[in-house]
Structure formats: structure tokens, C-alpha cells
Structure 1
Amino acid sequence: MRFLALGLVALLLTACASALRWEGGSRDGQYEVRSGDTLYSIALRHDVDYRDLARWNGIGRNYLIKPGQKLRLSPPDGGAPATRTADSGRGSDDGGKTRGGDRSTTSRPSSQPPSRQEPERSVGDWQWPLKGEIVRGFELPSSKGLDIGAAEGARVRAAAGGRVVYSGSALKGYGELIIIKHNETYLSAYGYNRRRLAEEGDEVAAGEVIAEVGSGPAQKSMLHFEIRKAGKPVDPLRLLPADG
């Protein structure tokens, strides 16, 4: 019985460690866009900067993508610039949300493109998305952020001001997910939500309620929180205030 119990514990830990690993969608260094994807969500999925992903695929500053479109996930051979597609105009930065059915495959513009000279945020600009115990820390490659325990339904707040560039449940392993773009360098992601209260295109202030805590692996109530710098996950504890 002891060996059986140990085996079950090991299996559970393996399942938790792999909860945020991606399955399917990518083949031979390419990704086929699915309904509900945005350029930001695909970039988050593959740990790349959304600006690089756009440049490699000749996508303009509107960041529009279509279901069925195939995107390369690395630079073209020799680093040569990719040829722009017919949809790569210089429209609004709307996150490139895809839509299914007979409706348009592009989303309405929500704001003007941010300035390339936008400064990086300092540590003092960040705040905790909620108060709770850290049940799992930043441990690459298995954990790309923090799992923060909290009561189900607890309010999740934006860690810094910015614009919601993804609000949905299409990314396997994150549940109901919200991604906020803070500037040209930083994104933050909030997963395992029970309910999303912010929609794509919403401008949110630091501390504004954006979601409610739901269940993570093993049906434990928690929030999964990530900060990405130029597409790469960074330890949120290096940016969040020490006093919680």
C-alpha cells in the first residue's frame, strides 16, 4: 500500500508539473492558427516575443491573424525579413483575435499602436494580483510563474495598468485566462480563473478587478500568475513588492 500511495503522489506531481506544457498545434516549427487565438496568446504559448512572431511572419502592426493560417515560430533562414502578407496593414494593435463561422476573421480595433519609445516599468509599478500563499514558485521549465492559493471566487486584480489583449479559454493548461499588455516589453497572465471580468480591448488600471479565482491542478483553488519580458517568463518575485 505504501508503494501504491507513493506512486499516486508521483503521478499527481507529474500531472501538476506538466499542466502548463503545450500539446498539439505545433509541427515542424510552425503553428496553425485556431479560432480564438490571438498573436499574443500564441506568443505566450511558445515563449516568444509577439513582435518577433509578427516580424517572422510578415504581420503588420494590426497583428491580425486568421484561423488556418500557418505561422513560423522561429526566424526565417539567414534571419532575412519575412514578406508581408496581404493582411499586414498598419492598422490598430487589436491583438489579432480570430473568429469562427461566417463572421469576419479579424477583430475591431481597440486602440492605437503604442509608441516604440515607451519606457519599461520599474519594480514599483507592480502589485500583487491577490493576497495568498504561494503554493508553487517560479521553476523553469515546469512552472513559468507563481501559483497563489486563495479562496474560490476571490478577486483577481491587474498587477499593473495596461490593455487586455487576450480573454478566453483556448490555451490548454491555463483554464480561463487573461493576458494584459503593459507596454512594449511586459505582459502579465492570469490563469485558472472561475470567471473573467475583463474583455479583450479593455483598458485596466493597476489594482482593477479583472477576474475571480477558480480551480487549478488537483481542483485546488488558486491563481496562476505570470510576467513575461520580451516574450520570456521572468520570476514575478523579482518585480512584485516584498510586502505582498
Structure 2
Amino acid sequence: MVQNKGAYSSQYPHRIKNSGLSRVLARISSLALPLLFLLALGACSTPSGPGASTQPSGPGYYTVQKGDTLSSIARKFRRSNSQIIAWNKLSDPNDIKVDQSLRIAPEGARTAGSNPASDNAAASRNTRTAEDDRADAAAAAADRKDPVDWTWPASGKASSGVGQGKKGIDILGQLGQPVMAAAAGKVMYSGSGIRGYGNLVIVKHNSNLLSVYAHNKTIVVKEGQMVAKGQKIAEMGKSDSNTVKLYFEIRRQGKAVDPSRYLPSR
């Protein structure tokens, strides 16, 4: 079995350590995928540890939730990306962290919520819109022209899907149970260098679609390897997670889409 420790193989010379998923997808983009992956969403990690500092809070601030990106936060509060970047003096707008406090209004201004909790609750309710659903449906229809034959990547109870700040689904299971490729494709990343995802595998299926498999106990495939639908690629675990589960995403042109629109009923 193969346990790749977070760096590209000799085929892929770009080394990645403690990077966000958006950066990894951007580097994959430079190798094989469309440039739209540069707009891919960030990692789902929750930073912690003794280095964490006290952050501002109160009206005009928003606490970053799992699944947030700079663009999604800007849309929630009807701001531009450049405003959020300027108000927070962000040197790397792709590197926002869960639980980070961001100013989402000019100093002295008030937002609709009276405190961060209400702002966050309102934003979460509005995370997924009818427009998002229509966009996902249109994307799935377009992909039928270059069809991918999907299967579930693991057995077990699955969460209801994207929304409420989530980009993918959690599939609960047993430690060490097989994690399978949800469709045939090429392994583009195999390692543990992306904080918050643990032992991670990314598989490219065609020019538009890829899938993400996180929190594995052990990875059994190498970067550059071709895999078949249903082939074992990892064993379920709890790396960078409090529970044994598989965190699974499907991404279309770098944007997470609702897996239920692609996976078969079960």
C-alpha cells in the first residue's frame, strides 16, 4: 500500500505543504485542468493552537464558517471582493481561515445583524439559493454531453448534501473500510499536505469534473495513476477530523456542486 506524504510525485514537481485546497487545484490547473480552477474554493480546515490570537468581533464583523470563501462572503453582504480585501488588509485573499473574523462593513457602519452570531446565522440561511440549484442543474445537464459514470465512494450514512456552509457530503463509516473512486479517472493529488483535509485524494474525471476524498486513514494510490470506477483508493479514517468519515466533494470547473445531482440513488 502507498502512503504519500503530501507532495507531488516526480511527475508533478510542485511541492505542497500546509496549502489550501484552492492552491492545490490551481496548481493542478496549471498542469491539466482549465484555468477556472484558479477560482476554486478554499479548504475546510479549522485552525487552532497556541498561536491563535484574539480577534475583533461585534457589528460590522463576520466570523468565517466552514465552506466560506472570500467571494461567497462578499456576496452574502453585498460587498465587492476588493472591499473585503481592503478593510481586512488581506495579503492573500485565498487564505482565509475558519473562525477568522473579517470586517464586512466600513468602520462605524452597522450590518443587518446586531452581532456576529446573527450575521452568521443569516448568512448561513442564505448560503444556498435557488440560483445555485439552477446552476447545478444546468451544469449536470451540460455534463451529460461528456458523461461520467458515477457511483457512491463509500457505504454508510451520508449527510444531506451541500448548503449551510458545506461544499460536500460526509459519509460516516468504520475505520479502515474501503473508499472507492466515484468514477474512472486520473489521480491528481495524493497526500496530506492540505490542512483540514487530512489524507486526501483528488481524482480528475474529464476536462470539467473532479472529485475530492478527505480524512482517509491510508491512501493506496499514487499521483498520476489511472483508477477505475469503484476501485479502492483509500481506507476511511479520521485524519484532521474528530470522527471516522469520508468527506466527499464533486467539483465542476473548480466550483463545488451538489453531489446528489451526480451520484445514483441508493
Class of the TM-score when normalised by the shorter of the 2 chains = 0.5 to 0.7
Q: Who is 2:152 aligned against?
A: 128
Tell me which of 153, 158, 175 is aligned to 1:152: 175
Closer/same/farther in 2, CA of residues 149 and 216 from structure 1, 3 Å limit: farther
Letter in 2 for 1:201: G
Instruction: Describe the shift of the 1:218–1:185 C-alpha distance in structure 2 as closer, same or farther (beyond 3 A).
Output: closer
**How big is the shift at 1:135?**
3.8
Q: Which is richer in strand?
A: 1
- What CA RMSD, in Å, does the superposition of the two structures yield over aligned residues? 3.6
How far off its partner does 1:35 sit? 2.9
Of 17, 20, 23 in structure 2, the residue corresponding to residue 42 of structure 1 is 23
Quickly say closer, same or farther: Cα 1:121–1:43, change in 2 above 3 A.
farther
Q: Return the structure number with greater helix share.
A: 2
SS at match of 1:42: helix
Residue 172 of structure 1 corresponds to which residue in structure 2? 195
Q: Which amino acid aligns with 1:35?
A: R
1:198-232 CA-to-partner distances (Å, cap 9, x unmatched) read: 11000000000000000166621100000001110
SS at match of 1:215: coil
**Contact kept in structure 2, 1:149 and 1:222, CA below 8 Å:** yes
- Following TM superposition, by how much is the alpha carbon of 1:196 offset from its aligned partner in structure 2, in angstroms? 0.4
Structure 1 residue runs of 5 or longer lacking an equivalent are 1-33, 57-73, 75-118
C-alpha distance 54-192 of structure 1, shift in aligned 2 (>3 A):
closer
Name the count of aligned residue pairs. 148
CA contact (8 A) 2:37 2:254 kept: no
Q: Which structure is higher in RCO with an 8 Å CA cutoff and minimum separation 6?
A: 2
Do the aligned partners of residues 146 and 55 (structure 1) sit closer, same or farther apart at CA in structure 2, a change above 3 Å counting?
A: closer
Equivalents in 2 of 1:174, 1:192: separation in Å?
Answer: 6
| Greater mean deviation of Cα atoms: 126-135 or 34-43 | 34-43
The two structures have a TM-score, normalised by structure 2, of 0.48
Aligned-partner residue type, residue 23 of structure 2: I
Separation in 2, partners of 1:199, 1:238: 28
Say which is worse superposed, 129-138 or 194-203, in terms of deviation.
Answer: 129-138
Q: Secondary structure at the match of 1:133?
A: coil
Deviation of the 1:36 alpha carbon: 2.3
Residues 55 and 137 of structure 1, relative CA distance in 2, 3 Å threshold? closer
Specify whether residues 44 and 54 from structure 1 end up closer, same or farther in structure 2 by C-alpha distance, changes over 3 A only: closer
- Which ranges of 4 or more aligned residues in structure 1 deviate by more than 4 Å? 37-41, 53-56
> Is the 1:194–1:214 contact (alpha carbons within 8 Å) kept by the matching residues of 2?
yes
Does the CA-based 8 Å contact 1:187-1:229 persist in structure 2? yes
Sequence identity of aligned pairs in percent? 41
- Secondary structure (helix, strand or coil) at the match of 1:195 reads strand
The answer for the alignment partner of 1:204 in structure 2 is 227
What are the ranges of 5 or more consecutive residues in structure 2 without an aligned counterpart? 1-13, 40-70, 72-144
SS at match of 1:219: coil
Taking structure 1 as the reference length, the TM-score comes to 0.53
Contact 2:168 2:248 in 1 (8 A): yes
The aligned residue for residue 31 of structure 1 is none
